[in-house]
Structure 1
Amino acid sequence: MIMYPFLEKGTTIGVTAPSSGVKPDLHVLIKQSCERMQLRGFDIRCGDTIWTQDKAKSASIKKRADEFNEMMADENIGLVFPPWGGELLIEILAGINFINIRNKWVLGYSDTSVLLLAITLKTGLATAHGTNLIDLRGEYSDETTAMWEKVLSTKQGESVLQHSSSKHQEKWQHDHPTPCVFHLSEPTIWKSISNKKVEMEGRLIGGCIDVIRHLIGTPVGDVRSFRTKYINDDPILWYFENCEMTTTDLRRSLVQMKLAGWFENCAGIMFGRSAANTPVDNYTVEDVYQDLSKELQIPIVYDIDCGHVPPQMTFINGSYAEVIVEEGKGTVREYFI
């Protein structure tokens, strides 16, 4: 059975950097983000790791793992919220105390999704794939991003409905800040391989495919055991996003997942928008999706609100989701059961 945390009003948010920290010239961003959370009524507790960054990580493996473990063990902290992702979070997994993890939310995406997926697969604790803390530093958030708080405040046994965004950001423009951080200018269109209405349901799990693929074959990447131990062999509904990979690297990763059994009893796959997906020898990302759909005989939808091309929905690893995609729009209803 999946355990679902509940976000209490006024809870303390623990800010730690299990992957990348924030360099001095960008400290203003983390301070702005924390101030916004305080204005929303949350208390903030910042760890030491968020203020440093060198050699592609915030701190030593031990310091990052210890600080995360401490925040997860602290009964006064209701949400652990990294500033953003990074590159080398996987280094700390061996030091995570999975046995003593308390029932609280961990929220983020990018490299953080390694930790999110590992926690859910290993313990059955729901985790939240959604906005980074840094992305909440604006005067307000767009409707899609802002749903993180409502989703995390859903009670066990209840459900929450999210709609696809109306517009998304084509590219980052850090030198031209906006009141809501993002520059949402391009129409959002959810697509399907079949070009027909798609309805699918199952247990949501996923993340940034660049990094979660490295969990395959590890003690914290056992999808088969997760299915039998925590979700009674319910079908799985995967969601992925590609940060930096070419189409052939994406294809290799998906084939490896298939060979590892990750797609057994799979109800469908959703792929987020990506600025990567670079074609190789005329092999496009649409070709990748077509090949995978034919092999697995499942529906595949893509260009959804997930990942490094914001905004993005808040997907709860472990929740039971009903997804409908039709005429370029999508809805996701997540049941906390």
Structure 2
Amino acid sequence: MNRRTLIKGLVSVPLLGGLAAAPTAGAAPSTGELRLPRRLERGMTVGLVTPASNVWENEDIRFAIDVVKSLGFRVKEGEHLYRRNQYLAGPDAARAQDINAMFADDSVDAVFCLRGGYGTPRILPMLDYDTIRENPKVLMGYSDITALLNAIVQRSGVVTFHGPIAAQNFTDYTLAEFQKVLVEGQSPVPLGAPPPFETRPGQVERDNRITRFRGGSARGRLIGGNLTLMCSLLGTPFEPDFRDKLLFLEDVGEAPYRVDRMLTQLWLAGKLDEVSGIAFGKFTEADVDGNSFSIEHVLRERCAGLEVPVVRGLMIGHVEDQTVIPVGGMAELDGDAGSLKLLEPVVS
């Protein structure tokens, strides 16, 4: 289920807890060298949190706990893990409190997000970025969690991870990507290369192919994630620094004209001219009718005037086979080979 279908049919009720006062535009981001979380090992304790929406049923939470345990970890449940308020997993303050508590808790080694949905940007002003910086831990999730991942890198200087949520199956591909980045700490290592062609129900060979929009190679630290969320950070104190960065983007359930609109927003804001390269992942469940450009057309046209490498098709996004991308990690994008390579360790 994507963000656009999440609230369909819900009855409007007052939200539990209002929005916090917005931070001032002059708030200064953290500066200094990036901090690396510890490499994951079997037996470590993973804190499970819901920064955005919750799953529909408690049994889905128990499934997520079993998934994390199957990876070899113990689980510590966030205090408010089971709370729900329509499309939010409880009040903003409660969701932020669980994240702050997990980073402050010495018994917790890593923090996994149960799911995305909607609501993460609402809690950004409530996070204790100093505590997060002093206690670097693996934080992983995707979709709406994009806002949290990039804000923490920008404010705390701690590398975060765009990767699977707890409430999903780990395919063989997903597990291998997870292990090489977070467990083995490999570098240099390719990220998000499509798996070999397979015959699966509903899958065709073109699903996992790399499209090369512009050649050349570039290096930079990685920023990005969900396109909608990256646009939502523009103009806020949590907007990442796009200069000389490798930008990776994905989305789900967005028609080509909406993808066009958001990329145009990034372009008009000057952000596409600042990056050193762009790696598009998957744009799944796009609502394309007979009067529409294709997603490929939109991506190609919007990036046509850029003088940086641009590729499409890495295993980033709302897909079963999913890579782990370290936000803040140093990488190289090769537009001719259609590859993304992590250059340095992102766990200590």
How far residue 51 of structure 1 moved from its aligned partner, in angstroms, is 1.9
Q: TM-score, normalised by structure 2?
A: 0.79
Aligned letter for 2:34?
Answer: I
- 3-state SS of the aligned residue for 2:81? helix
Q: Of 152, 160, 176, which aligns to 1:146?
A: 176
Measure the CA separation in 2 of the matches of 1:290 and 1:211. Answer: 21
Q: Which residue of 1 aligns with 2:225?
A: 207
- Counterpart mapping for 1:93-172 below 5 A: 93-101=124-132, 102-136=135-169, 141-153=171-183, 158-162=187-191, 163-167=193-197
Instruction: Check if 1:11 corresponds to 2:11.
Output: no
Q: Of 250, 261, 265, which aligns to 1:256?
A: 265
How far residue 38 of structure 1 moved from its aligned partner, in angstroms, is 2.5
- Runs of 4+ in structure 1 deviating by more than 4 angstroms, as ranges, are 167-170
Q: Which residue of 1 aligns with 2:88?
A: 57
Measure the CA separation in 2 of the matches of 1:164 and 1:200. Answer: 20
Instruction: Check if 1:244 corresponds to 2:273.
Output: no
Measure the CA separation in 1 of the matches of 2:268 and 2:151. Answer: 19
Aligned letter for 2:50?
Answer: A
Seen in structure 2, the aligned counterparts of structure 1 residues 260 and 326 have a Cα distance that, compared at 3 Å, is: closer
How far residue 190 of structure 1 moved from its aligned partner, in angstroms, is 1.2
Q: Which residue of 2 aligns with 1:316?
A: 326
Measure the CA separation in 2 of the matches of 1:88 and 1:8. Answer: 28
How far residue 278 of structure 1 moved from its aligned partner, in angstroms, is 3.7
- The 10-residue stretch of structure 1 (201-210 or 281-290) with the greater mean CA deviation from structure 2: 281-290
CA contact (8 A) 1:12 1:78 kept: yes
- 3-state SS of the aligned residue for 1:274? strand
Q: TM-score, normalised by structure 1?
A: 0.82
Aligned letter for 2:144?
Answer: D
- 3-state SS of the aligned residue for 1:332? strand
Measure the CA separation in 1 of the matches of 2:165 and 2:270. Answer: 30
Aligned letter for 1:298?
Answer: V
Aligned length: 307
Measure the CA separation in 2 of the matches of 1:264 and 1:63. Answer: 38
CA contact (8 A) 2:115 2:167 kept: yes
Measure the CA separation in 1 of the matches of 2:345 and 2:125. Answer: 29
Q: Which residue of 2 aligns with 1:23?
A: 56
Q: Of 77, 99, 103, which aligns to 1:68?
A: 99
Runs of 5+ unmatched residues, structure 2: 1-32
- The 10-residue stretch of structure 1 (210-219 or 247-256) with the greater mean CA deviation from structure 2: 247-256
Runs of 5+ unmatched residues, structure 1: 171-182, 228-234
Q: Which residue of 2 aligns with 1:189?
A: 209
Measure the CA separation in 2 of the matches of 1:279 and 1:159. Answer: 38
Instruction: Check if 1:299 corresponds to 2:309.
Output: yes
Aligned letter for 1:249?
Answer: R
Q: Which residue of 2 aligns with 1:290?
A: 300
Seen in structure 2, the aligned counterparts of structure 1 residues 184 and 283 have a Cα distance that, compared at 3 Å, is: closer
Q: Alpha-carbon deviations, 1:261-286, whole Å to 9, x = none?
A: 43343221111122244447433222
How far residue 253 of structure 1 moved from its aligned partner, in angstroms, is 1.5
Aligned letter for 1:123?
Answer: S
Seen in structure 2, the aligned counterparts of structure 1 residues 256 and 68 have a Cα distance that, compared at 3 Å, is: same
Measure the CA separation in 2 of the matches of 1:325 and 1:186. Answer: 24
How far residue 60 of structure 1 moved from its aligned partner, in angstroms, is 0.4
How far residue 205 of structure 1 moved from its aligned partner, in angstroms, is 0.9
Q: Which residue of 1 aligns with 2:16?
A: none
Q: Alpha-carbon deviations, 1:49-80, whole Å to 9, x = none?
A: 33233320110011111111111111221211
- The 10-residue stretch of structure 1 (27-36 or 122-131) with the greater mean CA deviation from structure 2: 27-36
Measure the CA separation in 2 of the matches of 1:208 and 1:321. Answer: 19
CA contact (8 A) 1:120 1:318 kept: yes
- 3-state SS of the aligned residue for 2:224? strand
